């Protein structure tokens, strides 16, 4: 195997990032201090929404969001089977039921037309929400989804963990950034190391709804508040109240400082990903049976992942790994997992998602991927097909 390994994704940490963290380490606050609020404001401005709430990770963001949106026990929420398990698990955490909907064969996103069919065939009130996933950085057309959601009185929680900076041009000619809250109730982002913005662990919830924002602020800190205007009683400046059952899902000032520094490079990072994607497209467009990612004209793909399809997926995966290239598979359909099979799901339920899984492979995609390493990956793919 090649001495230097090339992963599918990787964080990019600069001296500026390190200095930002060190500055907080020397300050009076390490956990829930002023840097959190600054990060939230900066991120809200970046995606173009009114409110942002920083939390411990993307899963915490999903969990708190479904509670804040009012998910009731036993009610159903629709999501894609092609996503990380947390997109579905969060519904179960809150006592709801998950229902999956097959994907679009071109975009690999949840199929909006199939969602509409599912809702038309259901009893009114069966479903309360939809969690669409911006897989690989490809934005869901939330304008189209919003029409269906409003008609059926459903909320939309956009899983935008792959897509900061991505977006689409709507029917009015306006560009809509993922998570900006124009056509959705809330969105979630992740700051895991392989994501666009890395804080080690961390997440963010964005929304334009003040009622959701206020619930989230309470929920992330045990349901406790010291805000005088919210208190039912007052014993002195030390007094606080637990007003709902919440969680310890706080981010730290250390992570927030890193997030703010990383956010300053977000536009550069997105451009680098676009540049790498363009080279992949040019070099792999006629290689073997490779199917390259589809992108509509009105879409800005954020390229968290660069996913190809090939009937020789396993052989190519093994060949690349033997040569020090750690490509990855995103994702195993959630309904394949033993836990979900016990709930009645089975192979054959979502044929398009399953066909996608049989052939999908994520190639190395991260902003610090060097030209030499990128060329090496491309050369090895060409070598495999020769």
pLDDT in tens, 169-195: 999 999 999 999 999 999 999 999 999
Q: What is the C-alpha to C-alpha distance for residues 8 and 4, in angstroms, rounded to an integer? A: 13
Percent of the chain at pLDDT > 70 equals 100
For residues 128 and 94, give the distance between their C-alpha atoms in angstroms, rounded to a whole number: 13
- What is d(CA 34, CA 287) in angstroms, rounded to the nearest whole number? 52
Q: Tokens 């080690």: give the residue.
A: 200
pTM for the structure as a whole: 0.97
What is the 3-class SS of 159-172, one letter each residue? ECCCCCCCEEECCC
Pick the closest to residue 157 from 63, 252, 267, 38 (CA basis): 63
Q: Hey, what domains does the chain have and what are their CATH numbers?
A: 15-263 (3.40.640.10), 266-385 (3.90.1150.10)
First vs last C-alpha separation in the chain = 20
Are the beta carbons of 262 and 197 closer than 8 angstroms? yes
pLDDT in tens, 52-69: 999 999 999 999 999 999
Taking only the tens place, the pLDDT of each residue in 7-17 is: 999 999 999 99
CA dist 328 and 175 (Å) reads: 31
CA distance 227 to 30: 21
Q: Residue 383 contacts by C-beta under 8 Å, 6 or more apart in sequence?
A: none
């Amino acid at each position: 195997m090649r001495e230097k390994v090339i992963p599918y994704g990787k964080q990019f940490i600069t001296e500026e990032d390190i200095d930002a963290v060190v500055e907080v380490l020397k300050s009076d606050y390490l956990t829930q201090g002023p840097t959190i609020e600054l990060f939230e404001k900066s991120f809200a401005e970046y995606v173009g929404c009114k409110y942002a709430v920083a939390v411990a990770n993307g899963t915490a963001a999903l969990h708190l969001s479904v509670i804040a949106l009012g998910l009731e026990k036993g009610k159903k929420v629709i999501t894609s089977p092609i996503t990380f398990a947390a997109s579905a698990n969060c519904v179960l955490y809150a006592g709801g039921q998950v229902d999956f909907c097959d994907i679009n064969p071109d975009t690999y996103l949840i199929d909006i037309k199939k969602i509409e069919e599912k809702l038309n065939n259901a009893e009114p009130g069966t479903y309360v929400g939809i969690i669409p996933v911006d897989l690989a950085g490809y934005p869901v057309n939330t304008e189209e989804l919003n029409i269906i959601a409003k008609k059926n009185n459903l909320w939309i929680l956009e899983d935008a963990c792959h897509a900061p900076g991505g977006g689409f041009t709507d029917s009015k000619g306006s560009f809509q950034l993922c998570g900006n809250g124009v056509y959705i109730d809330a969105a979630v982002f992740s700051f895991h190391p392989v994501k666009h913005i890395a804080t080690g662990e961390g997440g963010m919830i964005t929304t334009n709804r003040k009622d959701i924002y206020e619930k989230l602020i309470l929920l992330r800190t045990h349901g406790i508040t010291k805000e005088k205007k919210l208190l039912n009683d007052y014993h002195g400046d030390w007094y606080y109240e637990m007003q709902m059952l919440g969680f310890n899902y706080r981010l730290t000032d250390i992570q927030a400082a890193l997030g703010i520094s990383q956010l300053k490079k977000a536009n550069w990072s997105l451009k680098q990903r676009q540049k790498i994607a363009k080279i992949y497209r040019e070099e792999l467009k006629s290689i073997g049976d490779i199917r390259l990612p589809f992108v509509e004209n009105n879409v800005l793909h954020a390229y968290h992942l660069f996913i190809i399809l090939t009937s020789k997926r396993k052989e190519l995966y093994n060949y690349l790994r033997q040569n020090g290239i750690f490509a990855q598979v995103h994702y195993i359909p959630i309904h394949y997992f033993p836990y979900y099979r016990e709930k009645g799901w089975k192979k054959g339920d979502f044929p398009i998602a399953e066909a996608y899984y049989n052939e999908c492979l994520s190639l190395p995609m991260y902003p610090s991927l060097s030209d030499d390493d990128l060329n090496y990956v491309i050369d090895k793919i060409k070598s495999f097909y020769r």
